Amino acid sequence: MRYINPIRVKVLMMMFYATGIMGLIIGLVIAPPSMTIMITFMSLVNIGLGAFFTFLFLTQIQKEPDKRKKKRKSG
């Protein structure tokens, strides 16, 4: 898989976790009974995506700089 900048992965993680937790609270407490299951299910999907990006963040290997593009010192 392609290397992703850790800052972007952290932002995506926090975004998915925050919307997932907010969706759980809204789905279980505030939402009308007809929409409770759908909102709760979609928030669990967001938490799952947050877990996926956490896994990506913890397991990705830092990419090595390309030695062909490195400037050589002459002299």
Question: What is the secondary structure of 28-69 as a DSSP string?
Answer: IIIS-TTTHHHHHHHHHHHHHHHHHHHHHHHHPPPPPPPGGG
5-58 confidence digits (pLDDT tens): 999 999 999 999 999 999 999 999 999 999 999 999 999 999 999 999 999 999
* SS3 state of residue 65: coil
Domain positions in the chain: 6-59
Using the structure block, give the residue that is written with the tokens 């952290």. 10
Query: What does the alpha-carbon distance between residue 37 and residue 31 come to, in Å, rounded to a whole number?
Result: 9
pLDDT of 48 reads 98
**Rounded average pLDDT over 66-75:** 68
